[in-house]
Structure 1
């Protein structure tokens, strides 16, 4: 992710530390459930939770040899807990860990987007109400048509963002599914109750029918929803950018004290906020 365009809280969700932390969270949740079921010693599960640590540098060194990221991860964590490391990753395939962790990251990222979307909708609503009687020209095909209000324009944005929000809520629910059914999804090593219990601890639902992976239509639904939302943001930003053109001049972005518009043309006030979006 490009740090210039990444909010810190979103960057943290997608950091390597966060990804590996989710992997470990899944492994420890499985150990806890297996201990509760009497399938591994309770003392071993406690030691794993107390002592398991992630060492990214050690993981990379192992991966250089084994050429497999999850094997390298499990091996590196096992080194931090001694003999109890043999109880890590019992009955799992790599996709159980990777896909379930990805679901957690996507769920958390969607929650951040929803919070940001709520702030955006509120800001747009404030402008719609403030400018409900502010006359501007309406355009079709870019040509003057009939008078409208700027509040009406903002209200149309607010309504579309509301539809985007409903789609994102549904997509977030659709992506929040985990899988611990093992290789090719057959539950050959664990009872489905184990998967349900681990997913419940993680705040996920259990994937009803999986293969080696969680079905990818769940991801497609979320990413399509994000593409539609991005299109809405582009529509708003492009309109705001157009309305700031010198020959239009109907709106203007804030311009902070000391802000510069150009290294060669100091009179300029470029629409940089809108351009960062579109």
Structure 2
């Protein structure tokens, strides 16, 4: 990952040094299980654990000849050991058993970092939603003013989406991280399912139900599907912030720090750079879904066409996801919500009560049909919108009703009345989500 977007907690997980350390961890747990089942002499795993050291330079040197990274790794270990000990290293397993089981542990460690950042982000989003729960804003439909709603509920809708994806990640973490130690084509020719199960328990993961010499890649496709939906959720919220940040909307603004500059030539600019950055990163994250899906289709259940793509995209994917969540947390914490501007649009809007008045009239006018009443309210709203006078909207409806011999009086609604109408269910909605 380029330094600009590096997540420092993710980078070490995907280093060559850690990859080979994880290979060794798998091999040592296997040796321990083999000793427990008395398939190899006792004491071998301890001797290797105490002796073996990872030397990536030596592994690279051997691979120049072998052109096989796992064989190079195994050779670098066994050359440190007496022959009678080293001959049991990598006993009964194939390369993919080690590679894929280690990959699962790298993904597990990455998810733990991601979920920590995710929880911090969700907490920041929840707090901003609660803070603005009783702030009235004009909801939009088709990009047009619709009717008042809670600004906090707007944010809560995003929170609910992120909550669903967090549950998906948790379920994957608990149920779909698997290892395999089943040997060539998954046949258990040398090892046994019991040995595999023993190692899996020690590593805190599950056993792949049917391994095919590799762990089937639909597992990864499912994970990247989930994280791609997280990217969608990130972009959806980022785009909303960008909309509300417009100069002619001006309801929110990203925090602008001392010394920050928005343009090289226009000193007045304060651009929504974080939200735009997050939009771009979301596109990058979603692009990995194509790779994950195509990697699921391998010749005769097993080949290594997936390997090169995974070496590239997996470290980037978890790094960018962590970076994006951390950056969005900071963006939310610093987000300036201009409550006066937000609520003034509600109080000055000419026809936000169209639905409320329509339903009031349906209940209280006996001589006019719903279609008649809709036409009355619609005509008044169009006229009032042109004149931009909030009181005019009510007056136009009232005058039209008089010409139609209706004596119903529309209620006048102040700011508190608006809250009683449009925010009356907000507590229930929040309770349902939180």
- Bin for the TM-score computed over the shorter chain: over 0.9
TM-score (norm 1): 0.94
Gaps of 5+ in 2: 280-434
Q: What is the CA deviation profile of residues 83-138 of structure 1, one whole-angstrom value per residue up to 9, with x for unaligned ones?
A: 32222111110110111111111122222222222212211111111111222222
- Cα deviation for residue 80 of structure 1 reads 2.6
Give the RMSD, CA atoms, in angstroms: 1.5
- Bigger relative contact order, structure 1 or 2, given CA contacts below 8 A and separation 6+? 2
- 8 A contact 2:176–2:206 mirrored in 1: no
Task: Find the residue that maps to 1:257 and give its secondary structure.
Answer: coil
Task: Find the residue that maps to 1:146 and give its secondary structure.
Answer: strand
How many residues are matched?
A: 278
- Cα deviation for residue 57 of structure 1 reads 1.0
Gaps of 5+ in 1: none
2:48 maps to: 48
- 8 A contact 1:175–1:219 mirrored in 2: no
**Which whole-Å CA distance do the structure 2 matches of 1:260 and 1:109 have between them?**
34
Q: What is the CA deviation profile of residues 19-46 of structure 1, one whole-angstrom value per residue up to 9, with x for unaligned ones?
A: 2211110011111111222222323221
- Cα deviation for residue 247 of structure 1 reads 1.8
1:21 aligns with 2:21: yes
1:259 maps to: 260
**Which whole-Å CA distance do the structure 2 matches of 1:93 and 1:204 have between them?**
19
User: Between Structure 1 and Structure 2, whose CA radius of gyration is higher?
Assistant: 2
1:109 maps to: 110
- Cα deviation for residue 144 of structure 1 reads 2.1
1:75 aligns with 2:86: no
Q: What is the CA deviation profile of residues 166-219 of structure 1, one whole-angstrom value per residue up to 9, with x for unaligned ones?
A: 111122234311100000000000121111111111111111211111122211
Task: Find the residue that maps to 1:9 and give its secondary structure.
Answer: coil
Q: Which moved more, 1:186-195 or 1:7-16?
A: 7-16
Alignment of 1:80-229 (within 5 A): 80-83=80-83, 84-229=85-230
- Cα deviation for residue 150 of structure 1 reads 1.6
**Which whole-Å CA distance do the structure 2 matches of 1:263 and 1:56 have between them?**
46
**Which whole-Å CA distance do the structure 2 matches of 1:60 and 1:16 have between them?**
10
**Which whole-Å CA distance do the structure 2 matches of 1:80 and 1:265 have between them?**
64
**Which whole-Å CA distance do the structure 1 matches of 2:194 and 2:35 have between them?**
14
TM-score (norm 2): 0.62
- 8 A contact 1:172–1:222 mirrored in 2: no
**Which whole-Å CA distance do the structure 1 matches of 2:57 and 2:251 have between them?**
55
